[in-house]
Amino acid sequence: MTESNLITLNNYIEGKFQNSKCNHWIDNYSPATGDLIARIPCSSTEDIDDAVTAATNAFNGWSSLSIEERADWLIRIADGLESRKEEIAQLESLDTGKPISLARGVDAARSIANFRFFANHILDHEQQIFEMSDATNRVLYKPVGIAGLITPWNLPLYLLSWKVAPALLMGNTVVAKPSELTPLTANLLAEVMDEIGVPPGVFNIVHGNGIDAGAPLTSHPKVNLISFTGGTATGREVAKAASSGFKKLSLELGGKNATIIRHDADIISKMPEIVRASFMNQGQVCLCGSRILIHETIYDEFVESFVNTVTNMSVGDPSDEATDLGALISAAHRDKILSYIQIAKEEGGVILCGGGMPLNHPTQFKDGFWIAPTVIDGLKPDSICAMEEIFGPVVTLHPFSNDDEAVEIANMTDYGLAGSIWTADSDAGSELAERIDSGMVWVNCWLHRDLRVPFGGVKNSGVGREGGDWSIGFFSEAVNICVKHN
Ligand code: NAP
């Protein structure tokens, strides 16, 4: 990329695109090629202060709109994004290295759907009235105030819009800090807000890294609510920073999800979905099943079919519609994943496929960040690679002899985000699901999302729930008004 077509982004504060006060920049690279594609402001406390001031100044006007008026704004934002849907997909694929088919079908589509969903969902939200013999209680959902939103790089606009939409709907004003690794579509969202005339200060974006921009946002005394999605270690820091000011806090953190294949699973017809659950977005989805637990009676048959399907996936050019898997987000992340594969070998694991650079990889991607989908057999269920979140295209395989043992292994990690169960007996699968310590369990499907249901993790996978009424509750303060009858 030459200097002339290098994308330069600015912060979006008080309705203006403006550079960071400190005039430092962060380089942003294409994961597929390793090329420099953009530079973003390396913002710091002063920029966060400006954005929080803008959000504070805008709060009275925005929060005094009726909820129908704010829902109408959400629809206009969705329309604005819809008109740039292909651009969202292209930017997301460029910025993350993910296949364009995924960026179109999941990232772009869901980002728009998030705004439409919350705009419509609020219309179904019935007024809550609790009658007493001598009084009437009425629940009012008031805005919390200034919402600080912090998001990761794996599903950039998808996860940002999942927070922005309910935050604005409920009357809060927003300061968002997207991941420094994937700033492009957050900027596009700011452009859409600007184009359609969202009042200045209602929505602000501050680009930068976690320490310089994220930390001052989470500890800012005027920020009333923090919604954070990211790693568990960062979540711990965010929780510490938010606690002294008693901010409302939602933490959507890491996972180490189990995929349980029961003895009666239809492994032939379900194999494409099981592979998708393992490797979608190169395994960089918090919900991916990175540990596959297989009933011992079908272990060999499953492993042969699974490895066969995985090795036939097309890994390469993210802009090709036929590509299944793209690049990893950064060189550092690739190296971290490689170090886990090395640990697996030292722990006695057998690499059945993958383990390094994809074979016959095109030269145009030689400087990008790639690992072929990797399947590891022979590790104990409590080995490092089966217990720690790798967040990449790596799965470990483990046999079990009965449901009790499957549950024991599934619940062995410190995480508790998601899981899936594959079985011909849906009732048995549903009962087994109740015994898995995680926020979400799918039976005979994976990532089959209804946006009304609660989303979130238990144990080290998070605190709180978002989605549907849970988002409405989190992004507001429920206040009771009790009126004694005359
Ligand atoms: P991360 O390193 O924790 O970063 C997440 C965000 O926090 C980024 O914007 C990051 O900024 C910022 N940040 C870093 N340090 C901070 C601090 N001290 N204070 C405030 N903000 C700070 O996570 P990631 O590597 O981007 O994302 C991968 C992780 O996210 C995985 O663990 C995955 O499981 C998890 N995840 C969870 C869910 C869920 O719904 N549960 C969904 C998606 C991803 P910079 O990156 O710009 O420095």
Annotate 272-296 with b (16+ C-beta within 10 A) or e (fewer).
Answer: ebbbbbbbbbbbbbbbbbbbbbbbe
Query: Over the stretch 154-180, which tens digit does the pLDDT of each residue have?
Result: 999 999 999 999 999 999 999 999 999
- The model's confidence at residue 3, banded by pLDDT at 50, 70 and 90, is low
Residue with the smallest CA separation from ligand 1 atom 35 is 230
Q: Does the annotation mark 252 as catalytic?
A: yes
Query: Over the stretch 13-49, which tens digit does the pLDDT of each residue have?
Result: 999 999 998 889 999 999 999 999 999 999 999 999 9
Order of strands across the sheet with 36-41?
7-8, 36-41, 25-29
- The model's confidence at residue 124, banded by pLDDT at 50, 70 and 90, is confident
Beta-carbon neighbour count of residue 371 at 10 Å? 25
Mutate to test the pocket of ligand 1, among 229, 390, 474 (most ligand atoms within 8 A of CB): 229
**Which atom of ligand 1 is found nearest the CA of 218?**
20
Residue 477 has pLDDT above 90, yes or no: yes
- Pairwise CA distance, residues 465 & 439, whole Å: 9
Ligand 1 pocket, residue 211 CB under 6 Å = yes
**The one catalytic residue among 92, 237, 252, 466:** 252
40 Cα to the center of ligand 1, angstroms: 18
**Which atom of ligand 1 is found nearest the CA of 230?**
30
Residue with the smallest CA separation from ligand 1 atom 13 is 210
Residue 367 has pLDDT above 70, yes or no: yes
Ligand 1 pocket, residue 29 CB under 6 Å = no
- Pairwise CA distance, residues 450 & 281, whole Å: 20
The DSSP-derived string for 338-356 is: HHHHHHHHHTT-EEEE-SS
Residue 361 has pLDDT above 60, yes or no: yes
**The one catalytic residue among 42, 286, 288, 385:** 286
Please tell me the predicted confidence (pLDDT) of residue 136. Answer: 98
Mutate to test the pocket of ligand 1, among 39, 40, 207, 286 (most ligand atoms within 8 A of CB): 286
Q: Does the annotation mark 68 as catalytic?
A: no
CATH code of the region 257-450: 3.40.309.10
Residue 1 has pLDDT above 60, yes or no: no
Residue 2 has pLDDT above 80, yes or no: no
Tokens of 202: 């209602």
Residue spans per domain, the chain: 3-253+461-482, 257-450
Query: Over the stretch 270-290, which tens digit does the pLDDT of each residue have?
Result: 999 999 999 999 999 999 999
% of the chain surpassing 70 pLDDT: 99
- The model's confidence at residue 125, banded by pLDDT at 50, 70 and 90, is confident
Assign domain 3-253+461-482 to its CATH architecture: 3-Layer(aba) Sandwich (3.40)
